[in-house]
């Protein structure tokens, strides 16, 4: 056991925890607290009372039983790549890190499923699938660190949702340790199972408030052909919608993403990438297809010409190789990391797809009407109606003042989201960051039902309390 930097737990409790996981797997030093006690958000100070590294489902159950008896709050911790402070332990909670539940087993080629411990890293699952001649299609920039349990708990989406759906579409079964330490084995890999409520789907996206996902049976897909990517410059958001409709009517899209000229400028400048073409445009659409050859290539080019004739596209480029497709993707995928140096105000919202252009222009009018010097970087999964709004801090504006103004921005943005019937969190979850705004996209009755469901799974209220809604 390490030095007790935060000795909030009694020696008896610490020793009981050590009996469960082994003394060297009860971490209480400041470095472990900082590492395991927070996600990619940096708004809260991590103060876990201890970080525990269980090595089996039984150990997780034993910890939870002990925590329920003693009324100790728990924060489950996966790859901690979340952006809503869902995996933050800022109130002396016990952190249960699932890193050691990392086995990949029981691959079944007939079912095309594989059993994964919660701590399996997304990229490991992707590589495992590849080794079997298959494909795990939920993909995003943080795939090298995010873990399957966390992906399930946040229903991670990413860049291929338009074609392959979200994490919830790939979970054939899961095991959950509830707030009383019981183990639920949900759906057991069945394709069809209409015997009552699908509790598995309830757990997916619950951000650890109903229990800890300890294992999952993940479905795999046929691998796609080598991808081909088009990047198209468009004059306005309305044109992006026309392009989307035109391509979707005739072809299968693997991805349909967008970014603004400002986003492109930042990525080109800071990542040393080339502009896709010289003609500047207000926005850019990135389309991915499964290999463009023969008739598909002709179709894609005919649509391109049609879009140019209609004035929806000002210029475009098509990848000629997998390497080129990958470098075009970087123009989109590197945006989030590139702009992180401006400590941006972030938001992740959705409306139905067709409403996005009006939504976006209303947000811009309101934000820049009040603060003309705020630079807004738009990008996201436009084919899903999911836009990422990032506002960069002007260099000369003190951080506190920026934060205070961003508080106002949130208020305005969420009022618009509500008017549009949209969601205050399209893919990043609610966590601590969005909970005050939940009523802008969920009714009082819905939130009340969520609380009742939480009580049923977690009567002692120890599972990630204060996330999604107040404890
Ligand atoms: O940083 C963001 O705002 C979004 C991050 C991620 O969801 C993305 O789509 O790149
Ligand atoms: Zn995203």
Residue 395 CA to ligand 1 center (angstroms) comes to 22
Helix (H, G, I), strand (E, B) or coil at 43: coil
Cβ atoms 353, 385 nearer than 8 A: yes
Domain-ending residue, one of 97, 121, 144: 97
Helices 322-333 and 261-271: angle between axes, nearest 10 degrees = 110
Note whether residue 1 is domain-resident: no
For ligand 1, mutation pick of 82, 162, 423, 428 (most atoms within 8 Å of CB): 428
Q: What radius of gyration, in Å, describes the C-alpha atoms of the chain?
A: 23
Backbone φ, ψ for residue 364 (5° rounding): -60, -45
281-307 burial code (b ≥16 CB/10 A, e <16)? bbbbbbbbbbebeeebeeebeebbebb
Do 110 and 214 belong to one domain?
Answer: yes
Domain-ending residue, one of 336, 354, 389: 336
Task: Give the single-character DSSP code of 440.
Answer: G
Q: How confident is the model at residue 343, as a pLDDT?
A: 85
Do 112 and 81 belong to one domain?
Answer: no
Do 257 and 319 belong to one domain?
Answer: yes
Strand order in the sheet with 104-108: 104-108, 113-117, 211-219, 171-178, 183-186
The pTM of this model reads: 0.95
CA distance 306 to 232: 13
51-60 burial code (b ≥16 CB/10 A, e <16)? bbbbbebebb
- Which value does ipTM take for this structure? 0.99
Do 50 and 81 belong to one domain?
Answer: yes
Note whether residue 224 is domain-resident: no
Cβ atoms 153, 205 nearer than 8 A: yes
Ligand approaching nearest to the C-alpha of 348: 1
Note whether residue 74 is domain-resident: yes
For ligand 1, mutation pick of 379, 406, 426, 434 (most atoms within 8 Å of CB): 379
Do 243 and 258 belong to one domain?
Answer: yes
Q: How confident is the model at residue 4, as a pLDDT?
A: 39
Read off the pLDDT of residues 229-267 as tens digits, 9 standing for 90 and up.
999 999 999 999 999 999 999 999 999 999 999 999 999
Note whether residue 31 is domain-resident: yes
Higher model confidence: residue 33 or residue 343?
33
Read off the pLDDT of residues 320-370 as tens digits, 9 standing for 90 and up.
999 999 999 999 999 999 999 988 999 999 999 999 999 999 999 999 999
Note whether residue 68 is domain-resident: yes
Residue nearest to atom 3 of ligand 1 (CA): 388
**pLDDT band at residue 1 under the 50/70/90 scheme:** very low
In this model, does residue 3 exceed pLDDT 50? no
The CATH number that applies at residue 63 is 3.30.43.10
Q: Which residues contact 403 (CB under 8 A, 6 or more apart)?
A: none
Do 113 and 201 belong to one domain?
Answer: yes
Read off the pLDDT of residues 87-140 as tens digits, 9 standing for 90 and up.
999 999 999 999 999 999 999 999 999 999 999 999 999 999 999 999 999 999
Evaluate: CB of 141 within 6 angstroms of ligand 1: yes
Q: What is the DSSP string of 267-306?
A: HHHHHTPPPS-SS--SEEEEEEEE---HHHHHHHHHHHHH
The CATH number that applies at residue 191 is 3.30.465.10
Residue 158 CA to ligand 2 center (angstroms) comes to 5
Do 291 and 384 belong to one domain?
Answer: no
Do 188 and 124 belong to one domain?
Answer: yes
Backbone φ, ψ for residue 172 (5° rounding): -85, -20
Q: Is 46 left (phi over 0), alpha (psi -120 to 50) or beta?
A: beta
In this model, does residue 6 exceed pLDDT 90? no
Number of Cβ within a 10 Å radius of residue 399: 9
Residue nearest to atom 5 of ligand 1 (CA): 336
Evaluate: CB of 390 within 6 angstroms of ligand 1: yes
The CATH number that applies at residue 417 is 3.30.70.2740
Do 126 and 68 belong to one domain?
Answer: no
Q: Which of 216, 141, 213 lies closest to 172 in space, CA to CA?
A: 216
Do 238 and 273 belong to one domain?
Answer: yes
Residue 336 CA to ligand 1 center (angstroms) comes to 5
Do 117 and 197 belong to one domain?
Answer: yes
Percent of the chain with pLDDT over 90: 96
Q: Exposed, middle or buried: residue 221 (CB in 10 Å: 0-12, 13-18, 19+)?
A: middle
Q: How many domains does the chain have?
A: 4
Do 306 and 256 belong to one domain?
Answer: yes
In this model, does residue 433 exceed pLDDT 60? yes
Evaluate: CB of 388 within 6 angstroms of ligand 1: yes
Note whether residue 236 is domain-resident: yes
H or E element in which residue 132 lies: none
Note whether residue 445 is domain-resident: no
Residue 387 CA to ligand 2 center (angstroms) comes to 8
Where would I find the H helices in 198-341?
199-203, 237-250, 261-271, 294-309, 322-333, 335-339
Residue 44 CA to ligand 1 center (angstroms) comes to 20
Residue nearest to atom 9 of ligand 1 (CA): 380
Cβ atoms 343, 403 nearer than 8 A: no
Integer CA distances (angstroms), 339 to 305, 381, 405, in order: 34, 17, 19
Ligand approaching nearest to the C-alpha of 342: 1
Note whether residue 435 is domain-resident: no
**pLDDT band at residue 5 under the 50/70/90 scheme:** very low
Domain, as residue range, for 315: 232-336
Domain-ending residue, one of 429, 447, 462: 429
């Amino acid at each position: 056991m390490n030095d007790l930097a935060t000795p909030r737990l009694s020696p008896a409790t610490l020793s009981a925890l050590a009996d469960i996981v082994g003394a060297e797997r009860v971490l209480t030093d400041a470095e472990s607290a900082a590492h395991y006690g927070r996600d990619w958000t940096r708004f809260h100070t991590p103060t876990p009372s201890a970080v525990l590294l269980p090595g089996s489902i039984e150990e997780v159950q034993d910890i939870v039983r002990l925590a329920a008896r003693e009324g100790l709050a728990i924060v489950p911790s996966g790859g901690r790549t979340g952006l809503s402070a869902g995996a933050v332990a800022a109130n002396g909670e016990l952190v249960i890190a699932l890193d050691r539940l990392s086995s990949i087993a029981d691959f079944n080629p007939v079912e095309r499923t594989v059993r994964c411990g919660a701590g399996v890293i997304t990229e490991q699952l992707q590589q495992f699938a590849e080794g079997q001649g298959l494909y795990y299609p939920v993909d995003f920039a943080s795939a090298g660190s995010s873990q399957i349990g966390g992906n399930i708990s946040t229903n991670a989406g990413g860049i291929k949702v338009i074609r392959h759906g979200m994490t919830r579409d790939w979970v054939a079964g899961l095991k959950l340790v509830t707030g009383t330490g019981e183990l639920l084995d949900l759906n057991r890999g069945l394709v069809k199972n209409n015997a009552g409520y699908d509790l598995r789907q309830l757990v997916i996206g619950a951000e650890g408030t109903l229990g800890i996902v300890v294992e999952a049976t993940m479905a795999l897909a046929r691998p796609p052909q080598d991808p081909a990517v088009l990047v198209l410059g468009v004059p306005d958001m309305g044109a992006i919608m026309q392009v989307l409709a035109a391509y979707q009517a005739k072809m299968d899209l693997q991805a349909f993403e967008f970014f603004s000229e400002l986003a492109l400028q930042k990525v080109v400048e800071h990542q040393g990438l080339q502009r896709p073409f010289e003609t500047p445009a207000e926005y850019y659409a990135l389309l991915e297809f499964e290999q463009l050859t023969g008739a598909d290539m002709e179709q894609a080019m005919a649509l391109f010409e049609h879009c140019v004739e209609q004035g929806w596209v000002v210029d475009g480029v098509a990848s000629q190789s997998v390497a080129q497709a990958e470098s075009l993707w970087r123009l989109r995928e590197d945006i989030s990391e590139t702009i992180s140096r401006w400590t941006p105000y972030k938001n992740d919202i959705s409306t139905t797809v067709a409403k996005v252009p009006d939504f976006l222009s209303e947000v811009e009018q309101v934000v820049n009407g009040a603060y003309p010097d705020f630079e807004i970087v738009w990008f996201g999964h436009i084919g899903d109606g999911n836009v990422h709004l990032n506002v960069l801090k002007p260099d000369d504006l003190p951080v506190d003042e920026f934060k205070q103004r961003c508080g106002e921005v949130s208020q305005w943005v969420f009022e618009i989201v509500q008017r549009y019937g949209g969601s205050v969190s399209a893919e990043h979850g609610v966590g601590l960051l969005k909970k005050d705004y939940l009523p802008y996209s969920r009714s009082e009755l819905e939130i009340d039902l969520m609380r009742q469901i939480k009580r049923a799974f977690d009567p002692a209220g120890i599972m990630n309390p204060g996330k999604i809604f107040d404890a």
